[in-house]
Amino acid sequence: MIMKTVKMILIICALASMHVSAQQIAYVYTDSVLLSYPRYATNVLRLDSMKQQYQKELEKDKIQLQERADKLLKPYNKADNETLDMLKKRMAPTDSVKLSDLLEENTMLQNKTKRYDNLLKSLYAQDIQPILDQAIKVIADYAVKNNLTAIYSMEQVRTTLVYIDKKRDVTKSIIELMKKKK
């Protein structure tokens, strides 16, 4: 009985090792593929520049709004447990109106932030995502055509690899295919 179990385990191990050795695996430097597409780098730089510009503008607006609020509230020495509604009751009527205006400006700033985020997402979907989708399709088509089980993105697996055969790098082939798809 034990001998029969040992034989079965050996057969299963042999079959599993044959299946693993039959797999065809390659890798690609995805960054190189994407950068080979002329508009990709330009689009990414433009989007990053816009994002930085928006962040600076929003941060400046936020600081200015906070400074104005601090200046308005300073004479009233707001207690830690005091809500804005409680504080408003102690404020002069003109200061209370100014505080309401500042709160409204804060809401407008939050809405502006959401609009900028939506704009950046829209530009990403319009200018970058189609290039990523095309690269993924080209890589998948290449894998199917060349009977590959998997193509790994080197940027994703580099830190976990101890060794990889440089002959399995299909980056140049993928770049050539991307150039034909332009």
pLDDT tens figures, 53-74: 999 999 999 999 999 999 999 9
Q: Evaluate whether residue 18 is within a structural domain.
A: no
Q: Evaluate whether residue 8 is within a structural domain.
A: no
Residue 116 belongs to what domain range? 23-181
Alpha helices in 23-92 (DSSP H): 30-35, 38-73, 84-90
Query: How many domains are contained in the chain?
Result: 1
Rounded Cα–Cα distance for residues 155 and 31 (Å):
8
pLDDT tens figures, 101-156: 999 999 999 999 999 999 999 999 999 999 999 999 999 999 999 999 999 998 87
Q: Evaluate whether residue 9 is within a structural domain.
A: no
Write down the pLDDT at residue 12: 52
Q: Evaluate whether residue 5 is within a structural domain.
A: no
Q: Evaluate whether residue 17 is within a structural domain.
A: no
- Global pTM value: 0.73
CA 127-130-134 angle, 5° bins:
140
